[in-house]
């Protein structure tokens, strides 16, 4: 596009709309005899000047131009300004509905018939009538096509804007879900490992004079627990690359790591028995991680809220389409004041279970102690009562 064309494209539409009336008035002023000039100039102005407002009021402008053309026909004056009728017809078809376009085309066609009957040469009615009719149809069809194209482009833009809005919403939801996932992971990791480290440190302080070896072992376990916590935190934040050594030494925890978890809890002062029924090789890694975190959180709660001497039992049942998680302990829970918040442990466990169609139950057992139970579906089924 040339510089002149770019400048022309930036001009206001009214400048282009004024060009045709100016040319028509210039033509009549330079070509008409002096005695015909007043009438011809007045009719040309009546036909052409309304086009200046054709974009703002298409149908009223068309009506004004058609009325001026009727006066011209009655005055029996032929003018080049009749082209204004075609421009007005095009504008009406482009900016109004189908009914308005048909009415405007019918009015112009009726005017074409009257003009050909009055001004066509003797015996030559058909040729000018066909020519004028073709111009009328072309103007109307062009206007309808412009209106259709404009409506199509508006629909495409609206759809694109809607899709963009939906994508933004999906992105925000994805960010919120990722934040929730990281928050849940960080809560489980930090709460569990800090609880274990506190318990091991208390044990080391208690045993440092009576049994230094046990105190040393406990502190080594504190160190290992801290390193494991750092690795889990890095993994939860998505910064542990698969090619790093820690990625091979500390794989994503699952059912196979529950035995190490039970040993860790036993070292921290909570003897834990683990029972795994059925093979878990078919269980997806994400579902195994959910099982691990559920057991980890349940045992951490037991370690934090039960007295010394409490014992815990973890039962995992693996079948073709589900995994059952059952964690019980023998210790009483201290009553929680009504004003004390419940924390994120149980709600986080419910969210993890709900992701696999499970409804988690956590509460006191009839014979004493506390139990956490849920059933995770592996086939993507809906929520079930565990």
State the Cα–Cα distance between residues 259 and 44, nearest whole angstrom.
Answer: 99
For 335-341, what is the mean pLDDT?
44
Q: What are 66-81's pLDDT values in tens digits?
A: 999 999 889 888 888 8
Q: Name the phi and psi angles at 214, rounded to 5.
A: -65, -35
For 204-232, what is the mean pLDDT?
76
Tell me the pairing of strands 312-318 and 272-277: parallel
Domains of the chain: 3-119 (no CATH), 269-333+343-386 (3.30.565.10)
The overall average pLDDT reported for the chain is 81
State the Cα–Cα distance between residues 188 and 87, nearest whole angstrom.
Answer: 74
Tell me the pairing of strands 358-359 and 384-385: parallel
pLDDT of residue 255: 92
Contact partners, residue 160, CB within 8 Å, separation at least 6: none
Instruction: Please check the confidence at residue 334 and state whether its pLDDT lies above 70.
Output: no
pLDDT of residue 340: 40
pLDDT level of residue 220 (50, 70, 90 thresholds) = confident
The C-alpha R_g of the chain, in whole angstroms, comes to: 43
Query: For the ranges 134-143, 211-220, 302-311, 349-358, which has the lowest average pLDDT?
Result: 211-220
pLDDT of residue 158: 92
pLDDT of residue 251: 63
Under 8 Å between Cβ of 145 and 96: no
pLDDT of residue 243: 54
pLDDT of residue 10: 61
Higher pLDDT residue, 296 or 243? Answer: 296
**What percentage of residues in the chain have a pLDDT greater than 90?**
18
pLDDT level of residue 82 (50, 70, 90 thresholds) = confident
Nearest to 93 by CA among 64, 62, 69, 67: 62
**What percentage of residues in the chain have a pLDDT greater than 70?**
85
pLDDT level of residue 342 (50, 70, 90 thresholds) = very low
Query: For the ranges 16-25, 104-113, 180-189, 291-300, which has the lowest average pLDDT?
Result: 180-189
What are 370's strand-pairing partners? 329, 364
State the Cα–Cα distance between residues 157 and 161, nearest whole angstrom.
Answer: 6
DSSP string over 81-125 = GGHHHHHHHHHHHHHS-HHHHHHHHHHHHHHHHHHHHHHSPTT--
For 149-164, what is the mean pLDDT?
91
pLDDT of residue 382: 44
Instruction: Please check the confidence at residue 17 and state whether its pLDDT lies above 70.
Output: yes
pLDDT of residue 236: 64
pLDDT of residue 376: 93
Instruction: Please check the confidence at residue 87 and state whether its pLDDT lies above 50.
Output: yes
pLDDT of residue 375: 93
Instruction: Please check the confidence at residue 109 and state whether its pLDDT lies above 80.
Output: yes
Instruction: Please check the confidence at residue 383 and state whether its pLDDT lies above 50.
Output: no
| Residue 376, Cβ density class (10 Å: 0-12 exposed, 13-18 middle, ≥19 buried) | buried
Q: Can you read off the two tokens belonging to residue 356?
A: 């696999």
Q: What are 121-156's pLDDT values in tens digits?
A: 876 888 888 988 999 999 999 989 999 998 899 999
Instruction: Please check the confidence at residue 6 and state whether its pLDDT lies above 60.
Output: no
For 189-218, what is the mean pLDDT?
76
């Amino acid at each position: 596009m040339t510089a002149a064309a770019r400048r022309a494209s930036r001009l206001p539409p009214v400048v282009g709309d004024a060009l045709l009336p100016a040319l028509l008035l210039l033509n009549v002023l330079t070509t008409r005899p002096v005695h015909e000039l007043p009438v011809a100039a007045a009719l040309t102005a009546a036909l052409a000047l309304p086009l200046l407002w054709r974009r703002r009021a298409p149908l009223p402008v068309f009506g004004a131009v058609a009325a001026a053309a009727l006066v011209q026909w009655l005055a029996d004056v032929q003018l080049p300004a009749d082209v204004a009728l075609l421009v007005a017809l095009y504008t009406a078809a482009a900016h109004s509905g189908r009914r308005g376009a048909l009415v405007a085309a019918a009015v112009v066609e009726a005017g074409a018939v009257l003009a050909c009957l009055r001004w066509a040469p003797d015996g030559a009615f058909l040729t000018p009538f066909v020519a004028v009719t073709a111009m009328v149809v072309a103007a109307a069809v062009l206007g309808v096509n412009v209106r259709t194209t404009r409506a199509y482009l508006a629909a495409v833009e609206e759809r694109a804007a809607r899709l963009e809005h939906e994508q933004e919403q999906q992105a925000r939801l994805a960010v919120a879900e990722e934040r929730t996932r990281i928050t849940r992971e960080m809560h489980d990791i930090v709460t569990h490992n800090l609880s274990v480290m506190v318990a091991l440190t208390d044990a080391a302080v208690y045993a440092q004079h009576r049994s230094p070896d046990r105190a040393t072992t406990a502190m080594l376990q504190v160190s290992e627990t801290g390193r494991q916590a750092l690795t889990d935190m890095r993994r939860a934040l998505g910064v542990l690359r698969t090619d790093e050594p820690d990625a091979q030494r500390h794989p994503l925890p699952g059912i196979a790591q529950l035995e190490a978890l039970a040993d860790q809890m036993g070292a921290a002062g909570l003897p834990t028995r683990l029972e795994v029924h059925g093979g878990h090789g078919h269980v997806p890694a994400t579902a195994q991680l959910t099982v691990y975190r559920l057991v980890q959180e349940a045992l951490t709660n037991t370690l934090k809220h039960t007295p010394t001497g409490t014992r815990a039992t973890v039962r995992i049942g693996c079948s073709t389409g589900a995994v059952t998680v059952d964690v019980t302990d023998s210790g009483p829970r201290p009553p929680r004041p009504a004003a004390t918040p419940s924390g994120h442990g149980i709600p986080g466990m419910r969210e993890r279970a709900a992701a696999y169609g499970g409804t988690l139950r956590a509460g006191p057992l009839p014979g004493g102690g506390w139990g956490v139970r849920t059933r995770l579906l592996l086939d993507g089924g809906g929520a079930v009562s565990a």
